[in-house]
Structure 1
Amino acid sequence: MKLWTDCDVNAEVDRFVLSGETALDQKLLKYDVIASMAHAEMLEKTGILTAGENKKLQQALESILELDENGEFLIKPEEEDSHTAIENYLIEKTGDAGRKIHTARSRNDQALAAERLYVREGLEKIISSSKRLIEVLDKTSRKYNGIPMPGYTHMRKAMPSAVSMWLDSLKEALQDDIVMIKSAKKMINQNPLGTGAGYGVPMKVDRELTRRLLGFEKTQQNPIYVQNSRGKFELLMLHSLEQVMIDISKMATDMLVFSTEEFGYISLPEEICHGSSMMPQKKNPDVLEIMRAKAAIFSSYGSQIAALITNLPSGYSANFRLTKEPLIKGLETAEECIRVMAIVADCIEVNEKRCRDAMTPELFATEKAYRLVETGMPFRKAYRNVKKNLK
């Protein structure tokens, strides 16, 4: 049964409006339950629920968490969303206590609270995975410390580099990425509960209590802005993750190039490669190509959200519901790519001979020019002198 009507809604219209919603809400259900637990505590404090009613609700909500973890709490298509599924279950198990759970809230602030808890946990996982990748890059860098390799500009040999310099550049990039992710997490970590549909609720609520119980850093004050920040905060989060995905793409491309037969600076073990159904000799780095492709697609998630929220009036619009899919896909894609890249980076092998053999004389042309500068020759003369002798 829907929360807002007893009549039958046109089935085709219902399918159109709710297409894909159930599967997405299933991923958010745990966080919807956690937010409902805090909301019930607040309702007891403000006198809407008795202590006994709250206890029954908390037990029923714990039961939902357990069922969900075991894959046994499934949102029915006719229930529309996780909010309805939860409330229906609470009414079935606790009677009037369940009918009181939606006091002082709307699905608007309820959904936003669940999404923010989901995003916060997702970003914490991504930060953890990024730190793990940094550790792997650091270990691999130290393992191959002292091995020279060419540095490239325009995909052409430029100046001397080193395996450790290359790996450390990727490590430093990730360290900056974590700073940006933490900044986005701080922005998202705000309590929306207590603002209702976007214009407050006509009764006393304790928003500080729900903030504290849910671990939000602060409480958003203006109820209209709570809804206006939907999509905006998610876009900020995806932009921070896009920085990581750009670096993941760069790592993947470097490894693809450096592991080709023509370069041969690194090799990838068979356990992370795929083969060909036709060519017996092939050892294909599909994992890196798929990672690079996922990074390319990633930017579209932010673009989708930006398009969905642009030109909307103040207040809630159903457009916001369509931000869930790119939000969830973005978090899942980033975490998976970072985690898998750590596996790849941990097992690459450097071919020291190929790296050293690639250190051909032209790589040292700039150094020769600067040695002449040290003798007092103007740089441009030194540059032309070395360039002339290269021919």
Structure 2
Amino acid sequence: MKLWQKSYTLDQQIEAFTVGQDRELDAYLAPWDILGSLAHVQMLTKIGLITEEELAQLQAALRRLYKKATEEGMTVEAGMEDIHSQVEYLLTEELGDIGKKIHAGRSRNDQVLVDLRLYFRSEIEEVTQLMGELFQTLLQLAEQHKDILLPGYTHYQAAMPSSFGLWFSAYAESLVDDLRLWQGIYQTINHNPLGSAAGYGASFPLDRRMTTELLGFEDLSYNVVHAQMGRGKSEQQLSYGIAGTAATLGKLAADVVLYVSQNFAFLSFPDELTTGSSIMPHKKNPDVFELLRARCNSLQALPVQISQLTAGLPSGYHRDFQLLKEAIFPALQQLKQCLSILNYALPHARPAERLLEDERYRYLFSVEAVNQLVLEGKPFREAYQIVGGQIANGTFEPPREIRHTHEGSIGNLCLPEIRAKWERIAQGFPFEQVGEAIRQLLQKA
């Protein structure tokens, strides 16, 4: 069944190529397509295209389909082109001609737009919840290990003293930046395109504000051409969020891989979180973090992939957009997997203690020596020359006492301030309001 079916039969090779992976990927959209239809039929009843009796039957059937889609999953059967066709077919099979009425005032173009935005909202909520778990883990580890010093590096050269508290909380605050980006993406996506039809509206007196409220959107996309241009733009913005968070996670994974190697030995993990070698019995490989690094590197290429799929397209709908699902859906799942495995593995990290007692790190304290001379009254440049001379002639004796007290330094991590920054941004997501709107939509009268 095709919603555009006419009197001729489409060539099978053409159909297979144009449908592509839509049947498989549309399984992700099934619950959201049903929710969109629930809102749409209520609105059609208000404007007189569906009777109250028909509405009651449609609502009951759609709620049963929603329960099936969320609990068991829903597949797009062979012969069906997409999830929109599948849902309408199931309604028509159960209710007869009443099921055929639900498409009035809609195009598959605005159906998929609203499905995607509902789905993306839900995915962003899941992603940010996982980010929040990782954020809390990082802050806990920072507090737990704040007094364990760690060599800090620039140019791969030992540079200045750092600490595990500083290292862990650096990634916590990086997630704050990522959360701010996700909030902006959510605010753009949380606008209702339903009623834009094929991108030029409809001659029915649709009540688009009604469906906006029913689906929990913040506002509607007023201009119908603009609403249609959201296809591709939403995915592009999502790709930035995915890539930005992947960059944070990938850098963290790269640090871990370096820190657990024998030449560094800053960190270790329980044996059961590592893998072995088929010929080297001593090996304990950090495969989880290597795969994290690789997956996150791959995800950082997503914005380029999305922009290339949509580059040069004029306004209006184009079938090119179909391929965006193949890029963005798996990327969202991979990002959630990366966050989940980090949430599982990272709390098992075991920092090494007394690292800076090793002689190879004696020059880490050269800046401490320079600063001490400055505190005693010498100009900085003169103090720098004095300590540099001591290092050159082998007479430098490191002070090995850390006196960092300013905000965000080793001695003043500002963990409560970082937590407060996260909470301020997290409160800006209207997840509760959206969830309540969806609960109301699914609730029986």
Deviation at 1:77, TM superposition (A): 3.0
Q: 1:124/1:103 Cα in 2 relative to 1: closer, same or farther (>3 Å)?
A: same
Number of the residue aligned with 2:5: 5
The 5-angstrom pairing of residues 185-334 of structure 1 reads 185-334=186-335
What amino acid does structure 1 have at the position aligned with 2:324? Answer: T
Alpha-carbon distance between aligned partners in 1 of 2:175 and 2:352, rounded to the nearest angstrom: 25
- Once the two structures are superposed, residues 328-377 of structure 1 have per-residue CA deviations (whole angstroms, 9 ceiling, x without a partner) of 12211212111211112111111213455378220011121122223333
Number of the residue aligned with 2:79: 78
Number of the residue aligned with 1:100: 101
Identity of aligned residues (%): 35
- Once the two structures are superposed, residues 50-81 of structure 1 have per-residue CA deviations (whole angstroms, 9 ceiling, x without a partner) of 11111111121122223323446321132110
Is the 2:58–2:99 Cα contact (8 Å) retained in structure 1?
yes
Deviation at 1:91, TM superposition (A): 0.7
Q: 1:52/1:336 Cα in 2 relative to 1: closer, same or farther (>3 Å)?
A: same
Unaligned runs of 5+ residues in structure 1 are none
Alpha-carbon distance between aligned partners in 2 of 1:18 and 1:11, rounded to the nearest angstrom: 10
Deviation at 1:127, TM superposition (A): 0.8
Is the 1:160–1:359 Cα contact (8 Å) retained in structure 2?
no
Q: 1:22/1:359 Cα in 2 relative to 1: closer, same or farther (>3 Å)?
A: same
Is the 1:119–1:331 Cα contact (8 Å) retained in structure 2?
no
Deviation at 1:263, TM superposition (A): 1.2
The 5-angstrom pairing of residues 94-173 of structure 1 reads 94-173=95-174
Deviation at 1:299, TM superposition (A): 2.3
Is the 2:232–2:321 Cα contact (8 Å) retained in structure 1?
yes
Unaligned runs of 5+ residues in structure 2 are 393-445
Counting matched residue pairs gives 391
Alpha-carbon distance between aligned partners in 1 of 2:62 and 2:152, rounded to the nearest angstrom: 58
Is the 2:243–2:301 Cα contact (8 Å) retained in structure 1?
no
Under a length normalisation based on structure 2, what TM-score does the superposition of the two structures give?
Answer: 0.85
Is the 2:356–2:362 Cα contact (8 Å) retained in structure 1?
no
Q: List, as ranges, runs of 4+ consecutive aligned residues in structure 1 with deviation greater than 6 Å.
A: none
Q: 1:355/1:337 Cα in 2 relative to 1: closer, same or farther (>3 Å)?
A: farther
Look up the SS of the partner of 2:300 in the other structure.
helix
Alpha-carbon distance between aligned partners in 2 of 1:129 and 1:269, rounded to the nearest angstrom: 23
Under a length normalisation based on structure 1, what TM-score does the superposition of the two structures give?
Answer: 0.96
Is the deviation greater in 50-59 or in 163-172? 50-59
Is the 2:30–2:74 Cα contact (8 Å) retained in structure 1?
no
Deviation at 1:164, TM superposition (A): 0.3
Look up the SS of the partner of 1:123 in the other structure.
helix
Is the 1:150–1:355 Cα contact (8 Å) retained in structure 2?
yes
Alpha-carbon distance between aligned partners in 2 of 1:171 and 1:32, rounded to the nearest angstrom: 36
Cα RMSD for the two superposed structures? 1.5
Alpha-carbon distance between aligned partners in 2 of 1:138 and 1:155, rounded to the nearest angstrom: 26
Deviation at 1:143, TM superposition (A): 1.6
- Once the two structures are superposed, residues 256-311 of structure 1 have per-residue CA deviations (whole angstroms, 9 ceiling, x without a partner) of 11111111111011232222233222221111111111111112322121112211
